[in-house]
Every structure is written in structure tokens, then in C-alpha cells.
Structure 1
Amino acid sequence: MLKTRSVPIEMIRHNNLEMLEDKIKKYQHSKRRIWYMADGIYSMYGDYAPVKELMALSKKYPQLHFYFDDVHGMSWVGKNGTGYVLDQLGELPENVLLFGTLSKTFGASGAVLACSNPELYDKIKTFGGPLTFSAQLEPASVAAAMASAQIHLSPEIYDLQQELRERINYFNTCLSPTDLPLIDQNKSPVFYIGTGMPKTGYNFVNRLMREGFYVNLGIFPAVPVKNTGVRITISRHNQKEEIKGLVEAMEYHFPLALEDTQTNSERVFHAFKLEHKSKSKPQLSSKLNIEILNTIDQVDKKQWNRYMGGQGVYDWEGLQFLEEVFHENTQKEHNWLFRYVIIKDSNGIPILMTFVTLSLWKDDMLAQASISSAIEQERKENPYHLSSFVLSLGCLFTEGNHLYWDESHHSSKEARDGLLELLEKMEHQLGAKMTVLRDFGANTPWNDTLYGHGFFRVQMPNSCTVDLKEVDSMTGYIEQLSSRNRRHFRKDIQPFLELTQFDIISKANTAQIQGFKRLFSEVQKQNHGLNTFSFPDKLFERMNQNDLWEFIVLNPKGQPNTILGVMFCYSNQRDVYVPAFVGMDYNLLETYSTYRQLLYRTIERTLAIKIPKIDFGMTASFEKRKLGAKVHEKYAYLQTNDNFILEMIGVMEGQK
């Protein structure tokens, strides 16, 4: 409801008071009230909100008010079971709204709001949605609530709290000598045993269920994907022998669940940033030969092009070009780390082959264009606002199937799992905040495995290709288009062809290169559908020096010094023509139908040099489809260290 009223909503990292204060400073002179919303006891890990520190912050900033949800803190702690937050506060200040539930430890149903500000109390009583529109509780719930309230108001509540506290302490004592990854040890009745990956969590829960222990699985989006775990709540009805039995069952089944899902405790502890003393044995099979190479020069050229060539700008020659461009630059976003992974069987036959890069990404790269536009305003002051180093299949320059995988090989699954474990180790070693496996089709056989390993899927911009195998002329190509697309050509492209001239330039002069840079920069600033950092200036000089690159340049007829647009094109193994990027003068875009003309001239050029396929890349698929391109849905799988950035961008999308 606040989003629809344009009330600004900001995400704060978990219990991060420094970040909270920065946000308060941002709004302290423009907003009469700033509300901070938090749990008293957090429902997954059972950890606490820093209530006393927050109240100290409110003395410094009088606008600060609090909305505490203490449903997991009620009854088991505090005077008369009033809960954790009130136990910390002593008295309820007027700048606090305290919410609780009657349906958990209280043992009834319904909810409760405590408010000490008379004016705010009256507003809530008069205008609060639940009070205005909901019906009264049924008599049985009212009777249960009254009976529970009488217990809370009697000395019996303290005996019950003590009984529960003894069981909580006993559970902690039983867990202490084990190697189970208890995420937060405290005195709350909520415990969380980390399993890391979802597939391990499911395996562990099923094992415990077969032993007669029913526990909850904490999973995305309640927790980050890689922070899956078992959530256990202790009640005073659990007997000590049952508590001990649960710990013994977990201690026995935890390593078996890890083994079943090809992982180890070291990976789990690292996912939760916990110290792990003993080193686990690697899970990769000795039957597979895994090569990790630092440069394409170390990779056999013939072998790489056999399995990975003929797509995009990542044949052997293309990667040599990219390594040169994205190396030894002054700005950190222009320096990429390349790694090549080749997994072979015992006979030296490749089962899997790919390359990955570590590079700086804008966190909103795949977000809605409107979100990126808003974030770019903040980047005018801080260029690296919301940016993170990402370990990615392929790189930000390339598009296509970046992964060769022989699914028919008897060790294909082993090779796949080996790659995923290797990527996790590389992410740790290189300090990446996220791993992205990209350019998968909608029905990839990797889908279930990736979900089990803690990845989740997001849709990328569609990619486009043009097949020219059966076409020998541009006239023939236009004739094979649908009647609707032919009308588009006659109306939106053909009349403009007479207004322009074009050249194929393999070696541009200095003035032309500067013009190309300027036009490319215009496009990149406009294209927030796939929001990336700029490329280094030397990219264009290296293109100009490389025989595999050429420029399709469009000029107004009779004005060779005026560049309307340029397509930057790469020839891959004579198998595919790649118009990798485009530059355009937006002031003259509609006058000359520049983009559509460049698409047309690209097809014409590909036919002229007899290359059978065009990789037209991502974005603008609607325009490319009208010229006969085939559109392919593409998906990326993301594995993040935490949910914060994704949730924050989600909040921003909800406010648009």
C-alpha cells in the first residue's frame, strides 16, 4: 500500500545499523517520520534485533519510529510473557508499534498490537484495515485467548518459561560437541542447522522424517538460496530424550546427506561464513581430468574451435582478441579475468568445455529498463553504486551457448557436478558476489540440477539468429519473408535506402574511429534493457587492427563525413557473422530509419561474403524478427551469496 502512494521504501542489510543511519540521514530533512520495520526474533535463524541500539539511534534522530514484529518472541520471554522486544525496552515508547500473534506460543488465534501513543492509537482504531473490515473472532478463539491471558498474568507463566529455557539450554548443550553447523547460538527456541544447497536440505529433511523427526526446511526466498537449512523450534512439550534423539539423528544423517548430494561440510560452513576447522575431501572423481587454464594461448586451438567455435565472438581467435582488450586497463570494470575449463575422460576425450570470466557487473543488468534508468541517476555521483564482481559463464561481450557438454557420455553427470563444484571454489577464491550461468534454452537438461545446487532462473533478453544456407541473394531473402514482414520492408526500410550510402570499412582512419566510439556510447547510454558498464577505448582500435573485424558504416547520400550509424561485425571461422554491437546518431535515427537499415545491410553483407548464419545478438528482437530473424528464449541461472540486492531491486520494481 505504501508503494502505491509513492512512499519511498529502502532495504537495509540484516541488523546493519550503519547502513540504517545512512538512510536516515538521506531523509531526515525531508520526511516527518521515518519508520524502521524489523522482527524482534527473526523467524529463520532465531537471532535478535538490536533493540537497545535502535532506541539509542532514535534519540539521535527524533523522526525515527519503529514497527517491531515480535511474533516469535511472545510468551516464552519477558514479564508476563510480553516478549523479547518489550523485555528489552522495559516500557513501550510512543515511537514504537509492537505487533504480536496469539496463534503461536500464546496458544490461541488472532493478533495483537501494542501502541502507547494515544493519537496514533485512535487513528489505528478508526482507520486500520483489519479493525475496519475483519469480523470478530469466533467464541472458541476468544475463550482460548482469555484462558491463555490468565496464565500469562499468573506466576505460572514463569514456571512455563523456565521449563522451555531448560530445554533450549539442553538442546544447545547437545549440539555443542557436534560438527553440525548451528548458524546462531542464543537463548531463543528457534534453531537453524545449515545445509547449504537445497538438494542437501531436502535429502537431510527426508532422512530425519524416516527417523520420525519432523522439521522445517528453510529455503529461498525465506533465506538466500545457498543458505538452505533445517529450522527447528523447541517447545516445552519436547522431552529431553526426544531432543537428544534428534541431535543424534542429525549428527548421523548430516554427513550422509552431504555425501548423497556430492558436497561437503566445508562448503556448507563457507556458505554461512562460519569457521570450519577440518578440511573435507574433494568430491571430484579421479577418473576425470580437469584442466583450468589462465589464457586461451594455453588451449589447443584446433580442439577449442572444434567444440566451441562457430558461435559469437568466442572462437579461439575471438577470445585471444578479448583477452588483449580487457587486460591492463585503468578502470576496474575494463579488466576481466578469463579462465578456461576443460573436463576430459581417462582417454583424453572432452566431456565438457567452457570459459568463465570474473568482471564487474551492474547489479541491475537484468532488471527492468525503468529501474536501471533510476539507478543511473545515482551513478552520476557514484559510478560504482550497486555493482559487484560476478563469476560468469562466457563474458559480457559474448552471446551464445558458452558450454560444450557431451550429455551422451557415461561420465556426463560427473563432469557437470565437477564444473559446479569448481565454480563454487572459484567464486570463493576470487571474491565474487554471484555466479551466473547464462544463455541456456527454456528446456535445458541442467535445470533440475542447477536448482538443486542453489541457482534460480531469470529470463534474459531474447537472442536472434538468421539462417542463410538456402539463400543466394538479398532479393531472394526478401521474397521468402512472410507477407507481413515484406510489407514492413517496403514501408519502413526500402524508401530510406535511397537516402543513404554505406561502406564496408576494415581499416578506419582516426576521425572515423572517434566517430564510432561516440555513436556506440550513445547507444549504450540509451540501452538500459541490458545495462552494462562501458568498454575500454582501446576496444575500437583493436577492432580496427584485427582482420576478423569490419565496420558497416551508414552515411547520408553525398555526405561521407556524417556517420548515421555503424555496425561492428566479427567473422567467426567463416561459419557465422556476428554484428556484435551498434552505434547510432539518435538525432537522425527516425529520419533515416538507421537501425533498420543497418540490420538490412548486415544481412546483405553476410550474403555477399557467403557466410551461412548471422548471430544477431540480444535485445531489439521485435525489429530483428520483422526482418526474418529467428528469436530464441534465453535464461540465466543465478547463485548469490545473499538476497539483499535482489530484494532491493524487487522493491524498486514494485514502486514503479
Structure 2
Amino acid sequence: MPLNFMSININDMAKIKHNNFLNTVNEVFTDAQQQGVLHLYAEGDQFSGRTIGINNKQLYHFGTTGYLGLEQDPRLKEAAIEAIRKYGTQFPLSKSYISNPLYRQLEELIAEMYQNPIIITKNSTLGHLGVIPSAVDDQDAIILDHQVHWSVQSAAKVLKSRSVPIDMIRHNDLNMLEDKIKALTSKRQRIWYMADGIYSMYGDFAPIQDLKALCLKYPQLHLYMDDVHGMSWIGEHGTGYVLSELKELSENMLLFGTLSKTFGASGAVLVCSNAKLHHKIKTFGGPLTFSAQLEPASVAAATASAKIHLTPEIYKLQNDLRERIQYFNALLKQTELPLVDTNDSPVFYIGTGMPKTGYNFVNRMMSEGFYVNLGLFPAVPVKNTGVRITISRHNQKQEIKELVEAMTHHFPKALEDSNTTIRRVFQAFKMKDISTEEGTSHHDLRVQLEDSILNIDKSLWNSLVGKHGVCDWEGLKFLEETFSNNELREHNWKFWYLIICDQKQTPILSTFLTLGLWKDDMLANVKASQVIEKERQLNTYYLTSKVLSLGSLFTEGDHLYVDQTHPLKQQALNIMMQTMEALEKRFKAKMIVLRDFLDHEPAHSFFQGQGFIRVQMPDSSKIKLDGYHDIDTYVSSLSSRNRRHLRKEVWAIEPLLKIDVLQWFSTGQLKQVQALYDQVRQNNLGLNTFSFPDALFENISKHPNWEFITICQKDCPEKMIGVMLCYNNENHTYVPSFVGMDYEYLKEFHIYRQLLFQTIKRAIDLKFKEIDLGMTAAFEKRKLGAIVEKKFGYIQTSDNYTMELMGLLEES
């Protein structure tokens, strides 16, 4: 495979630094915190629910999950206070031994609400951790909706240690669910589908009736529903959305509700109509057994709330809330605000697309006197950032009306401040564009977008982007010819070249883009790729996507030229983004990837604000050759330790080898080269890519800018055991782009290190200024004097499904 994307999996030569998900989340949250929309502290010596104090200002509160306002009900407060007086702040015993005296009544009341056996848990997160491993047997399987709450996903993953298969479907995709059920029916005892009743970000619903029909069709299907956001504000006795649809709970379902949020107290509740399973979970449910029980105040408050739920009063409260929800919906219909999902839940989501727009909009709303939440990664894809608004009984109609007026006024201003358009927002959420805005004008700039390098001035291109790797004009002409008119679709790429100048024709920005088919697990770890490759034996294009990328899978280096001093730099970057989004939409790409940036990239904040998350890529290496007249001078600059390795593992073996530099290959030699390349590619799933077309090697052999360093044994000169394919970039940079090796001889002859050394030697002989050694194998390259740099990419996806599925598979 190309050296710039190469992983040699022996002796720790090249450990791919797979992106750490928590680091990515930390970067996103830190950015949001710095923008003043996250990790805030409420202020004041009291709290009513109608307003909330932030930054010395009282704001109308449109971010609560206490939709009915029961947390402020005097009856719940008095019950909690009295419980503390009687029983203290806690009851410090495991509930498995003895429950505090208030528990019995609470359990009886909750069971009466649901008309089924129940189990009270400390909270829903601990509840899932206790229930799922107890309910799911080793012979079962789990399928997750990819938007099911993190607490459910985290608890399900515990079962991987017991070899329970866990899979995932796209959100509410029942066709995908049925396909997976069919694949599991003959292999597994029960198949558990885990989902939310109402999803916390968009407020959309699980298709309960369709799921019920699937259960009738497939008796093995069992449902595990987390309905904490559907609790209290809907359903008989406030038992939630799922039961409001089903009317009764069948034995093939486990249902989670909450005693916090809308219920007004604390804790969670599992409802289970299967008496045997209920007994099993209650007897020993992991955290349910060993965790501390609910505090007396929480139990008493929940008991007071349960009593309200069992009276007609709950329906009056529900109706009061419903009126406010309907009023808010009616007002929104009169605007062009991009409401992502229209429904009757108390949760609303106004899409902003880019995080930068979301930050601006939230801050504008707070300055106007309204508190709303920001929905951001990982709860939603980064490019699906938006403002999450919740309606509660605390909100008065006049405040709701003023909120809509403020949003209508400030939303277009937030778009303008963040240099975006409402059309881009509709596109990000795949919503029908109802806007009337015109296209963006570029009257201050001249934009040239071409689909072939032949339409670009050669000297201009080489002075801007063509200084690295195979990115010069001749190299890109070679790539266009190689990756077109091939039989397989993964071997055909589309190319675009973007140059943005000011009115005086001074270049501000230049780059090139490719559209190609990528494996979704390209940057996943080996475990995930091994699982996926088994599936690809039956379905070649399983988990593959069209990707629009800065640069290409063949090239490495600085693919983006930006004049950092130009006053119109920001405008040029905005045009680049809009160009990529237009191409993404036109060609239905699933991901945009910006590649090969250093740690302190000047455009980092811009990329992040545009909806990209940063991921660490394999390290990149280069060697500066200025001042070295011959290989001996170069070697003398290495450390004594590295010279010792060189003597032992390169020079000592060199007399046993026949080393040649060739300008072209015969047909037989080409077959050997391709076979050696395939060995490297097939032995390394650390960076999992498609093979390249057969025509590549023929084209390389014919092209005057390529040459080949080959290694054979002296006693078997016809058989290659190693080859390095090197490109000449404008007689300035030597680019060892491909490596091929016979793994049978890899350790005996230290083939990789020998090829690296011969590459350096050849580049010095030809008087090149530097060598681009590309990515990975940094340990080996550093031993031979390479400068190693951390490299980063920026990724923007249409949804989080693939990312979350990769995380699931990586933990298998």
C-alpha cells in the first residue's frame, strides 16, 4: 500500500494512533465551554422553575426536563423535608438487606400505576447496568438503535465479555432491524432490541406500533425500552409514551421509567411483567444489589408524586402542558425556523448546523432573557448542532410567544455572524428547503473550480500546493489517468481543483479534492476491521461510503494552501466550505475529510466551528537533506545508537543483497511488485483501505517521474523480496510512495529498514532537498534521522451511526 498510508505490523514498527473518542468529546465540550454555553452554574438563593439565574441575570427557563413542574410542588417538598426529619439524610444500608421504612409504600404505589411488578433503582444509569446483564442470557443477542441513550449502550457493552453479540441499526430503521433479526433467528435464543421511547434531543418517538408488529412476526424479538423522557406527561397515570401506545406490557418487554425529571423526585423504575425474570433481576442485579438505596427524602418525594399520578389531577397537569406544547407548535409553524422534528412531545430542536452558529444563537437568546440548551456532539453529529428547547408547565404563554419572537429575530443574525445560510442548515438536516434566500455572492473574490488539473496553470499550482508528495501538477495528472475508467467503482475517483484569488489575481486559497469509495473502518482498530472483513467476504461493499476528501488516499502532505496574511482569508475559507458542501450534496457523499494538518493548525477553530471533529492521524515523517553531500556525511549525523543499529541490521546484510534502481519494469517484474505490495496491504488492517487498480503499477512503470529501488538476494537475483516505488516532485522532493515486501524474508534481511536506507542514499545521490517519508512507521524512520510530526484530520459526517458502530466493534 502507499507508504504515506502504510502500517508494517511487526516489531511495533507502525502503531496507528487510533482516535481517542474521549479526547474528541473533550475538545468539543471545551470549545462549547469557552463559548459560554456549557458547564454553567445557576445562581440565586431560590429556584422556581420559571426562571433561572445565569451570569447575574434571571432568564426564562426553557431547558428543564421537569415538564410538569412537579419538582416545585409543595406536597413533594413537604414530604421530603418530613422524611429527613424522621429518617435522616440517608439510610446507609444495602437495599438487598433492608430497605428504609418508606420504600414499601412507594413500591406499592408505582406497581399500582403500572399494574405490573416493578423494581426501584437508584437512577436509570445504574438500573441499566443492573438489569441488562441479568436479563440478557449468553445465548441471546442485542441490537441497539444508534440513538438509544448512552447509559443503555454502556450497560449493553458489558455483555461483550460474555460473547453476547451486539449490533446496531440506524435510528428507527425498522427495515435494517428486520434484516438483522433474520440473520440472528437461527443462531440466538432471544433477540433484544434496545431503544428510547422518546429521544432526548429531537423529541421524536420510537415506532412502537411497528415494533409490536415485528414482535408478533418474530417471537424471538424482545424489547428493552428506556422511556424516561416519555414519563408522567403522557399516558394513563403518567406511565409514559410507550405504554400509552401499547396499553399493556407483554412479557417480551422490559420498560424503564424515571422518578426524576418529570416525575419530580429521584430514582428510576423497571417494569417487568414476567414474574420469573422480575424475581431474577430483583434477587441479584449487580449495582441494584450493592449500590446505596435512595435517600429517605427522595423516596418520600416520589411517594407524594405517585399519589398525584394515581388521581385525576395528573390528567389536568398533562392537559396544561399539552396546551403549551400545541401553542408553541402553532407559533413555530408561522416561522421559517428549522424545526428538525414536528411532534407533540415537550422537546423541540431548532437546527443550526454548525456549532459556531449554535454558540452564537444560544448566547443571543441568553442576552435576550431566555435560557435554552445546546445540542452538540456526541449527542448529535457535529454538523447537526442545534438548540434544544423544552416546554414545561412553568412556562407561560406570553413567555413562549416572546421566545418565538426572539428566535425569529436572532436566528438570521446568528447565521450572518457565523458566515452561513439557512440553506446550509436545511441541507445539514436533510430537510426540505423552504427558504427564499439567494445564493451567496463572491463579488470580492474570483473562484476557479475545475475537474481536471489540465485546466489549471502548471506553474501557479506547483507554487501553491504542488510542493509535497505526489501533489505537483504532473503527479495529479498521473493520478487522474490512473483512477478513471477502471472496472471497480472503488478504483474510480472524481477530482476537483479550487483556486480562490482576489480581484488582483493574488491567490488566497488553493486545494484539491477527491471523491471516492472508502472503507468506513479505515481508521478503526484491527479488531473492528477483522470483524468487518469477514462480512465483506459475502458483501464487498459492506460498511463503505462515498467520501469527499481534501487531497486523496494516494497523497500525503499539505493539501491546503492559505495565505494567512490576506484580509479576505476568512471569506475564502467560507467559500471552500460551501463548495465542499455543494459537492457533498450533489454526489451524496456521507463524509467530508480534511487531512494532514499539524497540531497548531491556524484554521482549527474555524474547522471546529464549521462542524468538524478533530482526529489524530498516524505521525508523518520527513528528512531534510540540505548540507549532506554523500551518505557517509548523513550517517555521521545520526546518534551513536542509531549508527550501531545501521551497521548491524543494514550494512552487515547489504553484501548479501542485490540492490538496483530501475526506471521501468518488465511484465514479469510488475507481477512481482504487485504481489509484494499485496502482502503489505493484506497483512495490515491498522489502516484498512481498498486495493489500488492494476493499471497503477503499469502507469508507474511508464511514467518518467517514477523509479524503483528493488532488493533481491544475490543467490536468487530474479526474485524480488522488497521494492520501494519513488516519485520525483519537481527535482526538489523525493517521495517513496509505495512499499512491497516478502514477509517470509522480512526479519532475516530487515527489508523495511534496508529499503528506507537505500531510499535516503538514492535521494542524496540525486541531490534532492528533502524526502517525504509519509505516515506511520515513525519509530523506524526516526532511527534513520527522520523528523516526525503529529498529524491531524478533521471529519464531518452526516450522522454518528458509523462512528458509534465502529466503537461498538472495537470493543468486541
What's 1:339 paired with?
Answer: 496
What's 2:437 paired with?
Answer: 280
- Structure 2 residue corresponding to 1:33, chosen from 175, 190, 196: 190
Cα deviations across residues 162-214 of structure 1 (Å, max 9, x unaligned)?
11111111111111111011111111111111111111111111111111111
Structure 1 ranges of 4+ moved more than 6 A: none
Q: 1-side partners of 2:432 and 2:239: how far apart?
A: 35
Match runs of 1:154-233 below 5 Å: 154-233=311-390
What's 2:300 paired with?
Answer: 143
Paired residue type of 2:587: L
Report the 3-state secondary structure (helix = DSSP H, G, I; strand = E; otherwise coil) of the residue aligned with 2:315. Answer: helix
| 2:546 pairs with 1:384 | no
C-alpha displacement of 1:522: 1.3
C-alpha displacement of 1:273: 1.2
- Structure 2 residue corresponding to 1:646, chosen from 803, 807, 810: 803
Match runs of 1:351-362 below 5 Å: 351-362=508-519
Paired residue type of 2:567: H
Paired residue type of 1:201: G
Gaps of 5+ in 2: 1-157
Give the number of aligned pairs. 655
C-alpha displacement of 1:648: 0.3
| 2:199 pairs with 1:42 | yes
Cα deviations across residues 621-641 of structure 1 (Å, max 9, x unaligned)?
111111111111111100111
Match runs of 1:400-439 below 5 Å: 400-439=557-596
Q: 1-side partners of 2:279 and 2:644: how far apart?
A: 66
Superposed CA RMSD? 1.2
Residues 422 and 435, structure 2, Cα contact 8 Å, conserved in 1 = no
What's 2:139 paired with?
Answer: none
Residues 40 and 85, structure 1, Cα contact 8 Å, conserved in 2 = yes
- Structure 2 residue corresponding to 1:582, chosen from 732, 736, 739: 739
Q: 1-side partners of 2:230 and 2:465: how far apart?
A: 56
| 2:763 pairs with 1:613 | no
Paired residue type of 1:57: L
Match runs of 1:208-607 below 5 Å: 208-607=365-764
Report the 3-state secondary structure (helix = DSSP H, G, I; strand = E; otherwise coil) of the residue aligned with 2:717. Answer: coil
Paired residue type of 2:777: A
Using the TM superposition, name which of 590-599 and 247-256 deviates more. 590-599
Q: 1-side partners of 2:415 and 2:435: how far apart?
A: 15
Paired residue type of 2:682: K
Cα deviations across residues 489-539 of structure 1 (Å, max 9, x unaligned)?
122222211211111110211111111111111111122222111111111
| 2:276 pairs with 1:119 | yes
Paired residue type of 2:474: E
Residues 415 and 421, structure 2, Cα contact 8 Å, conserved in 1 = yes
Q: 1-side partners of 2:645 and 2:223: how far apart?
A: 58
Paired residue type of 1:207: R
Cα deviations across residues 95-142 of structure 1 (Å, max 9, x unaligned)?
111111111111111111111111111111111123211222222212
- Structure 1 residue corresponding to 2:168, chosen from 11, 31, 48: 11
What's 2:87 paired with?
Answer: none
Report the 3-state secondary structure (helix = DSSP H, G, I; strand = E; otherwise coil) of the residue aligned with 1:269. Answer: helix
Q: 1-side partners of 2:477 and 2:702: how far apart?
A: 13
After superposition, the Cα gap between the structure-2 partners of 1:626 and 1:284, relative to the gap in structure 1 and judged at 3 Å, is farther
- TM (normalized to structure 2)? 0.80
What's 2:33 paired with?
Answer: none
- Structure 1 residue corresponding to 2:289, chosen from 129, 132, 142: 132
Q: 1-side partners of 2:531 and 2:782: how far apart?
A: 29
Paired residue type of 2:353: G
C-alpha displacement of 1:309: 2.5
- Structure 1 residue corresponding to 2:789, chosen from 612, 618, 632: 632
Q: 1-side partners of 2:530 and 2:781: how far apart?
A: 24
C-alpha displacement of 1:220: 0.7
Q: 1-side partners of 2:476 and 2:441: how far apart?
A: 28
Cα deviations across residues 268-314 of structure 1 (Å, max 9, x unaligned)?
11111111133423345311111101111110011111122231001
Using the TM superposition, name which of 282-291 and 624-633 deviates more. 282-291
C-alpha displacement of 1:239: 1.0
Q: 1-side partners of 2:466 and 2:227: how far apart?
A: 58
Paired residue type of 1:23: K
After superposition, the Cα gap between the structure-2 partners of 1:291 and 1:528, relative to the gap in structure 1 and judged at 3 Å, is same
Paired residue type of 1:245: E
Q: 2-side partners of 1:137 and 1:317: how far apart?
A: 71
Q: 2-side partners of 1:213 and 1:643: how far apart?
A: 30
| 2:780 pairs with 1:623 | yes
Residues 263 and 283, structure 1, Cα contact 8 Å, conserved in 2 = no
Q: 2-side partners of 1:576 and 1:149: how far apart?
A: 75
Cα deviations across residues 14-33 of structure 1 (Å, max 9, x unaligned)?
01111111111222222212
Paired residue type of 1:403: L
Report sequence identity in percent.
59
Q: 1-side partners of 2:465 and 2:318: how far apart?
A: 65
Report the 3-state secondary structure (helix = DSSP H, G, I; strand = E; otherwise coil) of the residue aligned with 1:168. Answer: helix
Report the 3-state secondary structure (helix = DSSP H, G, I; strand = E; otherwise coil) of the residue aligned with 1:493. Answer: helix
Paired residue type of 1:344: C
C-alpha displacement of 1:354: 0.7
Q: 2-side partners of 1:155 and 1:594: how far apart?
A: 81
Q: 1-side partners of 2:254 and 2:708: how far apart?
A: 64
C-alpha displacement of 1:456: 0.2
Report the 3-state secondary structure (helix = DSSP H, G, I; strand = E; otherwise coil) of the residue aligned with 1:602. Answer: helix
Report the 3-state secondary structure (helix = DSSP H, G, I; strand = E; otherwise coil) of the residue aligned with 2:746. Answer: helix
Q: 2-side partners of 1:148 and 1:309: how far apart?
A: 69
Report the 3-state secondary structure (helix = DSSP H, G, I; strand = E; otherwise coil) of the residue aligned with 1:560. Answer: strand
Q: 2-side partners of 1:459 and 1:45: how far apart?
A: 30
Report the 3-state secondary structure (helix = DSSP H, G, I; strand = E; otherwise coil) of the residue aligned with 1:52. Answer: helix
Residues 356 and 609, structure 2, Cα contact 8 Å, conserved in 1 = yes
Paired residue type of 1:568: L
Q: 1-side partners of 2:257 and 2:287: how far apart?
A: 14
C-alpha displacement of 1:425: 1.5
Q: 2-side partners of 1:300 and 1:314: how far apart?
A: 14
Report the 3-state secondary structure (helix = DSSP H, G, I; strand = E; otherwise coil) of the residue aligned with 1:472. Answer: coil
Using the TM superposition, name which of 492-501 and 631-640 deviates more. 492-501
Report the 3-state secondary structure (helix = DSSP H, G, I; strand = E; otherwise coil) of the residue aligned with 1:498. Answer: helix
Residues 259 and 266, structure 2, Cα contact 8 Å, conserved in 1 = yes
Q: 1-side partners of 2:700 and 2:242: how far apart?
A: 63
Paired residue type of 1:632: E
Q: 1-side partners of 2:357 and 2:434: how far apart?
A: 21
Residues 289 and 346, structure 1, Cα contact 8 Å, conserved in 2 = yes
Q: 1-side partners of 2:640 and 2:436: how far apart?
A: 66
Report the 3-state secondary structure (helix = DSSP H, G, I; strand = E; otherwise coil) of the residue aligned with 1:501. Answer: strand
Report the 3-state secondary structure (helix = DSSP H, G, I; strand = E; otherwise coil) of the residue aligned with 1:159. Answer: helix
- TM (normalized to structure 1)? 0.98
Report the 3-state secondary structure (helix = DSSP H, G, I; strand = E; otherwise coil) of the residue aligned with 2:263. Answer: coil
Cα deviations across residues 453-482 of structure 1 (Å, max 9, x unaligned)?
000011111111111112112222222111
Paired residue type of 2:673: F
